[in-house]
Chain A
């Protein structure tokens, strides 16, 4: 543990002749010790890989990880990607996957949080049960749902047949048109609890006084929600949705384990596709170029993320 006892802050006599910025950094050098471990880990695991990915995206690489033999090919990898059919198919899937999962998870989570806001017997138990899917591993979730969707012995198919809604069990995940929605259902199952927790936390911060004032002013339940609760939760909502969107954009496990991207790429999203390009087909250069594109997309999202966060960020003086 690298905690410094901060005596350095009392040492104000600086070496003369340093420029303003350096001098300030020097004056605060003890403070950096606190964040150094975090930053160091981040640098190793983030900065270096980003640099390396960008570099690799301009090279043609031989299969296998014998990267010494790579050759520079400029933007060729990028043109290969942008002109390929699969790219657009996968991008479309990613869009549906991300937006669908994010939006529905958020709405379900928010609605659940609202319904749970009023106290009733068994609320704590119910809340705990609803959170479980978020806690268990996505691998377990994938297997559970794969079993539920099973084309021969799946329970949903059996129920549909039993109710006379289908002649034989439908094949949910081996069918180009139903596979993506089916996976989104699984994803939402795992994710709405997160939205629920965030919004529950947010709801606790809505000042009771405001709600009471609105009641006195004659607002009905819906008006109170719309004019008091919802505006108050705007920031939390934005942050929650952005976090969900980023998580969904980056998700891998559910499609990878349940379908591996199939059938015929119908459930491939960017991440699974990149993974397959890199570790399946060993096309490291193309995969890296893909990653860079992904990275740029995420930077755009990231911009909004930081903006939403810094809207929440409180400026604080030093100790």
Chain B
């Protein structure tokens, strides 16, 4: 096992930077999820670490070595691909044996390791099949097996579960998690399914447009998003972001909505707003931190319900507020009709405030 360090990593295609000055450290035995929207450079980053794509500038360190100019085969890594990339002409056995053959292991040792991996992944009975004779889940398992027979320093996985159906995905998710815990393996795992990231990863690296946005534990990323992108990207349904106008009169800081309503801030939140570079402030709130009232209570603001989506456990209400859509969850026993007048109350302790210009989270001090 080994740690992985990316230092100021850049990859450009022509003038376009697919990976933009990314630096992060993956500690030995850590499971890091790389998340972000499609095209943000996740696969490119992984390919850079693997050595499949030459880097433009920066450094990659695996273990104690700078591996910038090493071939993939010399980096002591294994990789699992989104479409599995099993060798179609080889049987499962030969697929698993291939990495060992390439390392010139003796035949009996290869046989032992392949059989062991097959046993661990419960596919001994599949060894003679060709990949096309396997189900998606079985293929996935072979791909995983091919990565683990070799006992590499680092595992790289590029959306390994995205081609599976929902049920299988949940099952494989726990298998990979187990596999991580048993092996204490260092894993970099690309996904655009944040649920996967949250449930499996020790740390989460959120990327957008080639830039690393935030790198922290899932709980931290969820609780303290550093900017509006991370805030809106992590969490489902997405955090509501409401653009407002800040003003201070006789010691009280007040946010004003486009409709003219005013929301007085707690001293701590007022402190945050004071640090903003402009009067434009964006209020962020997750659906569970907003209370819905049928009448005007102090501290609540008026809104109009737009859609109502009962899901069984909770009912999601979408409302318009200051030109933004706000997601609120209410218990199923509260009936809300579309177009009904409602009042929303934000939890001052759990609300997020962002600078309207820089889109960065505002901090108290």
Contacts and interface: CB of A to CB of B under 8 A. Distances in A.
B54 A9 contact: yes
Contacts of B319: none
A9 B55 CA distance: 10
B69 interface: yes
B41 interface: no
Interface string B46-60: 000001001110000
Contacts of B71: 7, 10
A10 B51 CA distance: 8
A315 interface: no
B56 A12 contact: yes
Nearest to A317: B13
Interface of A is mostly: helix
Interface string B38-75: 00000000000001001110000000000001010000
Contacts of A12: 54-56
A11 interface: yes
Contacts of A7: 71
Interface string A1-13: 0000001011110
Nearest to B57: A12
A87 to B, nearest CB: 51
A278 B26 CA distance: 75
Contacts of B69: 10-11
Contacts of B56: 12
Contacts, number: 11
Interface residues of A, number: 5
Among A9, A10, A11, A12, which residue has the most Cβ atoms of chain B within 10 A? A10
A127 B55 CA distance: 53
B42 to A, nearest CB: 16
Interface in B171-212: none
Nearest to B56: A12
Nearest to B52: A319
A9 B56 CA distance: 11
Chain B interface residue bracket vs A: under 10
A12 B53 CA distance: 11
A7 B69 CA distance: 9
A40 B14 CA distance: 29
A12 B56 CA distance: 7
A188 B54 CA distance: 53
Interface string A152-190: 000000000000000000000000000000000000000
Nearest to A9: B54
Contacts of A11: 54, 69
A7 B72 CA distance: 11
Contacts of B51: 10
A9 B51 CA distance: 11
Contacts of A10: 51, 54, 69, 71
B73 to A, nearest CB: 11
A11 B51 CA distance: 12
B255 to A, nearest CB: 47
Contacts of A9: 54
A31 to B, nearest CB: 13
A317 to B, nearest CB: 8
A204 B169 CA distance: 34
Interface in A2-59: 7, 9-12
Interface in A86-115: none
Nearest to A8: B54
Nearest to A20: B14
A9 B71 CA distance: 10
B313 to A, nearest CB: 39
Interface in A47-93: none
Nearest to B55: A12
Interface in A251-285: none
Nearest to A24: B14
A12 B51 CA distance: 13
A10 B50 CA distance: 12
A30 to B, nearest CB: 11
A9 B72 CA distance: 12
B79 to A, nearest CB: 15
A165 to B, nearest CB: 59
B17 to A, nearest CB: 14
A11 B68 CA distance: 10
Nearest to B69: A10
A276 B51 CA distance: 60
Nearest to B72: A10
A12 B59 CA distance: 13
Contacts of B54: 9-12
B154 to A, nearest CB: 19
Nearest to B13: A317
A11 B71 CA distance: 11
Interface string B16-51: 000000000000000000000000000000000001
Among B51, B54, B55, B56, which residue has the most Cβ atoms of chain A within 10 A? B54
A12 B69 CA distance: 9
A7 B56 CA distance: 15
Among A9, A11, A12, which residue has the most Cβ atoms of chain B within 10 A? A12
B47 to A, nearest CB: 10
A9 to B, nearest CB: 5
Interface string B312-333: 0000000000000000000000
Given A9-B54, A10-B51, 9 more contacts: A7-B71, A10-B54, A10-B69, A10-B71, A11-B54, A11-B69, A12-B54, A12-B55, A12-B56
11 contacts: A7-B71, A9-B54, A10-B51, A10-B54, A10-B69, A10-B71, A11-B54, A11-B69, A12-B54, A12-B55, A12-B56
Interface of B: 51, 54-56, 69, 71
The 6 A-B residue pairs with the shortest CB-CB distance in the complex, in nearest-first order: A10-B54, A12-B54, A10-B69, A9-B54, A12-B56, A12-B55
